[in-house]
Amino acid sequence: RHPDYREEDGQRVMKQAEITIKVNLHRGSAASNVWTCDLSHDYVSINADYRS
């Protein structure tokens, strides 16, 4: 976990309808969009039971 991470900030972001994740590979100015769907309820429930 990043030393500047605050749980309150993470909770606020996760309540949004859409979340943008930016990845900079430092390989030029190309860009791409990837759309995903909601994960299954069981998958989310299992992974919500712990924090890494």
17 inside domain: yes
- Domain around 15: 7-48
pTM for the model stands at 0.46
Note the pLDDT of residue 6.
Answer: 93
Dump pLDDT digits (tens) for 1-51.
889 999 999 899 989 988 888 888 999 998 888 888 767 888 888 878 776
1 inside domain: no
2 inside domain: no
Question: In the chain, how many domains are there?
Answer: 1
Q: Is 26 exposed, middle or buried (0-12, 13-18, 19+ CB in 10 A)?
A: exposed
What is the rounded CA–CA span in Å between residue 42 and residue 16? 20
19 inside domain: yes
35 inside domain: yes
Note the pLDDT of residue 52.
Answer: 63
DSSP collapsed to 3 states, 1-52: CCCCCCHHHHHHHHCCCCCCCCCCCCCCCCCCCCCCCCCCHHHHHHHHCCCC
